[in-house]
Structure 1
């Protein structure tokens, strides 16, 4: 991951969790070739375990010189009646969210 290509490394995004996509507003440009153009996404690696927990990871790369700007990881699972989401990426930021699968969320009274 490259801290020099982004304005704010691992920006706190609150409950925003991107499975795919990119947070372009945080991109300064490629430090290797000075391009502010499009980013290419390396092939997604998708893993799922027997409980249905899912993790998706890929790299944001400069489309001109192939420099790795950031590694993006997104995860989803269901735990004790809650859908749990998280994102970790130097460019897109960090975020997590938890949503009840029940009609009335016991934690939100």
Structure 2
């Protein structure tokens, strides 16, 4: 996550889990072009591994294509419960998930 593009680099969202895995209310403006316009979803990929769906994508500035954030989340059904695990920011590098 680009610290220059967001108000709070890693906001405390509690157990909020959004359909697309993104919290765009925190987006202030692009750190590269200083515009607050639409955010594109790029490089979206979905894989399935051992009954778990893994979704990855980047958020990019519509104007200059600066990467605002990289996202990864997983979805699985465990004992009749739907489970989402979201990775973002440094967690993508360390592979340390936050489970909601």
Q: TM-score range by the shorter chain?
A: 0.7 to 0.9
Number of residue pairs aligned between Structure 1 and Structure 2: 93
1:24, distance to aligned residue in structure 2 (A): 2.5
CA contact under 8 A between 2:29 and 2:36: conserved in structure 1? yes
TM-score normalised by the chain length of structure 1: 0.72
CA distance in 1, matches of 2:35, 2:13: 25
Q: Report the secondary structure of 2:43's partner residue.
A: coil
Query: How has the CA–CA distance of structure 1 residues 28 and 7 changed in structure 2, closer, same or farther, with 3 Å as cutoff?
Result: same
Structure 1 residues without counterparts, runs of 5 or longer: 98-109
Task: Look at both structures and tell me which one has the larger radius of gyration over its CA atoms.
Answer: 1
Query: How has the CA–CA distance of structure 1 residues 75 and 85 changed in structure 2, closer, same or farther, with 3 Å as cutoff?
Result: same
1:81, distance to aligned residue in structure 2 (A): 4.5
Q: Which residue of 2 aligns with 1:38?
A: 38
TM-score normalised by the chain length of structure 2: 0.77
